[in-house]
Structure 1
């Protein structure tokens, strides 16, 4: 638990992180008000959007900062088991995602005057999933600029290809996370929609994290 708290503090206790959190908080409050929808699902989807788009940058930096700022040697000297450190970072990122989701859903509840528990749970899952996705890209690349760029460019490129190339459309319906997460903005998600979301999450979240853990535990520290 102490290691998780340390990693959580390291993630948010920088000037850049504080500015990003402030911007996300401001946009989270403004989005449902500007969107104008008073039903909880619409307000929650609007409030959650800044969280899912911008906050994963912190998940990327939670990993890559160790290498880009050259603090990995100190970190791994104090805790030689790199997997333990990486899992603590993942737990810290999860806590941050859940806290941000709670804030966004609270704003939506105030705007809408009520809460749809099912939709709230689904959107919290989306927020955590996007944080894990950013974390996975950070683990794979271990460089801040490249990982942040890849996190945004690669999924967007795949989504565009899936919509523009007819031959890729069947695969994109299952493996485009930006598309499969869409139904979770509302109640009544079907079993097929859950299966598509799980398949895309396996590609964009589980696989990068697993491969990244292998790389991070073997990467040379300079």
Structure 2
């Protein structure tokens, strides 16, 4: 007896992109690594808030802007690890075969992971502001410190831009390396080792000192956290360094993601 031929329904609609993005967002916290890492950095941010609240001098004023800045400076260092775990788990835990079987168009998967990462950044921003509000309220209510509740839109915008850049950096490195430990180590090398090497080289080489502000990724982001705002030159330096250190790994990472054979 011959088996009937199996036909594939090519007219069936694909997975809606909104559902695909929500699935990828859920996968950011589904694993034990992602879940406990997120809990750990939130505990760390809460501890930093308590330190800033109760160790500020009694005669000093507490500024909500400063409190939010401290929270995001702390969370911004670690926020890129979440998209790294989201991307690399497909290869480290061998789930890529299932993912690409359900959605063979890898470009849609990459875009969904990018949307999920953006939602994580937005969530981090909201949580950090809530923690900052709590810290400011504690400083004013329990310690009687004069508090300033003003939170500028410029500061919120710059904090979001800084976290988005860090997230894109982690996302691009994860796509390129497809290995969790290697991607995390490379990310911290980008953030701390490379700027040190560039500044040391600039201190010894006069001709290189003028180039450093345009390629030093970490220093270019520092004006984002300045309450005085950024000049046109500083925006140009941020764009140039981001294109070099974020754009290039992201482009090559997407190319590798789309072409790598699933084993």
TM-score, normalised with respect to structure 1: 0.93
Deviation per CA, 1:145-194, whole angstroms, max 9, x where unpaired?
A: 11111111134222011111123433321222211111111232211111
Aligned to 1:197: 238
Distance 2:80 2:168 in 1: 8
Distance 2:76 2:27 in 1: 21
Moved more, 39-48 or 78-87: 39-48
Among 204, 210, 224, which residue is 1:184 paired with? Answer: 224
1:132-147 matches, within 5 Å, as 132-147=168-183
1:152 aligns with 2:163: no
Aligned to 2:11: none
Alpha-carbon offset, residue 33 of structure 1 = 4.0
Aligned to 1:24: 41
Deviation per CA, 1:67-95, whole angstroms, max 9, x where unpaired?
A: 11111111111111111101100110111
1:214 aligns with 2:214: no
1:82 aligns with 2:118: no
1:96 aligns with 2:136: no
The secondary structure found in structure 2 opposite 1:165 is: helix
Gaps of 5+ in 1: none
Distance 2:212 2:114 in 1: 27
Runs of 4+ in 1 over 4 A off after TM superposition: none
Moved more, 67-76 or 104-113: 104-113
Aligned to 2:144: none
Aligned to 2:63: 39
Moved more, 185-194 or 115-124: 185-194
CA RMSD of aligned residues (A): 1.7
Question: Which of 1 and 2 has greater Rg?
Answer: 2
Gaps of 5+ in 2: 1-17, 137-147
1:6 aligns with 2:23: yes
Alpha-carbon offset, residue 217 of structure 1 = 0.3
Aligned to 2:150: 114
Aligned to 1:53: 77
Contact 1:109 1:115 in 2 (8 A): no
Distance 1:40 1:185 in 2: 14
The secondary structure found in structure 2 opposite 1:80 is: coil
Moved more, 27-36 or 137-146: 27-36
Distance 1:199 1:107 in 2: 33
Among 84, 91, 106, which residue is 1:67 paired with? Answer: 91
Count of residues in Structure 1 that have an aligned counterpart in Structure 2 = 222
